Amino acid sequence: MAELRRGGSLARRRLRKEIPRPQVYVFGEIEGAVASWPLVRLYCSWRLVFDENTWWVIQGESTGETFTSSASSQGVCVWNHPISLHLALKALQGWPRLELVVRGSDSHGRHQLAGYGSWALPCTPGTTEVLCRCWRPTGNGVFARLRSFLLGVIPELQQTCILSDGSSSRPGLRTEDSVDVLLRISIILQNFKQNGIEAGTAEGSG
């Protein structure tokens, strides 16, 4: 009888070991952006941010950059930049967020920051289209605003770790809304039920 119990527990341990890790497939496009005056050309650098202690990339690129697109007569820059990524995880903590840094140039060829953006990937399967509202620092005082208006000099962050903060508040930092980036992202979840995880239990916000 003891041998049967040992055999049964060994079979259960083997079964647990054979259950594959939960996996997330991310694919879609950074479709484009609505340019803000005085910028007439835009490009976007992006990266997927997650807890590297609990998440890792199986296949695909977690960073990238679009080409530079000129604004249409409606003020829209089109990129249709593809995103394709296969991730595995051992815990839900550190659910991925997409960080965006949009830059561009005006009609005089002056390059400047257009805006920063951050968006938490959906934790349920399906396709989502969303406008990610970006922002940029404005500096303090009339001189800083005048310098930005006349010379096209926009303050930039020294560290972008603030972008991964899900909080919408940015204490001590004066900002203004800037460009809107159109995203179309699809999510496929695999092996979540086998591991006792229900879709939608991860914490995430836009």
pLDDT of residue 65: 98
| Dihedral of alpha carbons 147, 149, 153, 159, sign | positive
Cα gap 70→39, rounded to integer Å: 9
Q: What is the pLDDT of residue 7?
A: 53
Calpha distance 25→195 (Å, rounded): 17
pTM of the prediction? 0.80
Could you tell me the end-to-end alpha-carbon distance of the chain, in angstroms, rounded to an integer? 56
**pLDDT tier at 110, thresholds 50, 70, 90:** confident
The answer to whether the peptide bond before residue 125 is cis (omega within 30 degrees of 0) is no
d(C-alpha 46, C-alpha 100), whole Å: 5
- pLDDT tens figures, 174-195: 788 899 999 999 999 999 999 8
Question: Which residue in 74, 120, 77 sits closest to 96, CA to CA?
Answer: 120
